[in-house]
Amino acid sequence: MGKDVIIACDFPSKEKTLAFLDKFEGKKPFVKIGMELFYAEGPSIVREIKARGHKIFLDLKLHDIPNTVKSAMKVLSSLDVDMTNLHASGAMPMMQGALEGLTRADGTRPILIAVTQLTSTDQETMERDLLIREPIAEVVMHYASNAKTAGLDGVVCSPLEAGKVHERCGKDFVTVTPGVRFADGDVGYQKRVMTPAEANRIGSDYIVVGRPITAAEDPVAAYERCCREFIG
């Protein structure tokens, strides 16, 4: 599995996104399209960025009955994205349905990863709102393990959890980690952060980086710095 830096294109419109990508000229970074941009622009934004030669992580975090997720994944797969995701809390039949839907007639499919517990959910919220009383670290590892058993390729997790996920699920089980900041940068709303170099040391396969690149004075230089620190 190749290590890479994925830029979170958290922009509200196609115009802003393409103006940002134009700055990269010949370079084609791996980009993440999330709910905001996808719901604003629809599948055409995926086709357009793909046609420009970028790899795409479509971050829509599906969670519904297995049959609905299977059909939805079939549509996402036909958009030719490289990576997509769902909530592991949708349980095993949903994850298996998703894999079936994603798999194309020729046997290929995008990388499928699972969200374990959202980082906005802490122990207290989980116990109070979800009635889950196990320690959150164990819940995360259990969900990662379920994702692996269901045949998924990996999980989205904090860089702090990436090492443990690899210990539990194997080194080929992909870890995609947001919450990355430069040592001299603003932390913003992210609480538990790591530098690209630390994320590399701990074993993240892909880092998802938004504002340290998108809000930088020179986004191309910030992206290149990120790649240097993460990949070497």
Name the minimum Å distance from CB 210 to ligand C5P: 2
CA distance 174 to 204: 8
Q: Nearest-CA neighbor of 181 among 109, 229, 137, 145? A: 229
Name the minimum Å distance from CB 148 to ligand C5P: 19
Q: Which amino acid is at 205?
A: D
Residues with Cβ < 8 Å from 93, sequence gap 6 or more?
66
- Out of 3, 50, 109, 211, the only residue in the binding site for ligand C5P (CB under 6 A) is 211
Query: Does residue 20 contact residue 47 with C-beta atoms inside 8 Å?
Result: no
Task: Tell me the window of 77-85, 128-136, 137-145, 204-212 that interacts with ligand C5P (CB under 6 A).
Answer: 204-212
Is residue 161 a contact point for ligand C5P (CB under 6 A)? no
**Would you call 61 a catalytic residue per the annotation?**
yes
Is residue 209 a contact point for ligand C5P (CB under 6 A)? yes
Is residue 29 a contact point for ligand C5P (CB under 6 A)? no
CA distance 140 to 148: 12
Interface ranges with ligand C5P (CB under 6 A) = 8, 10, 34, 118-119, 156, 178-179, 188, 190, 208-212
- Catalytic positions are 61
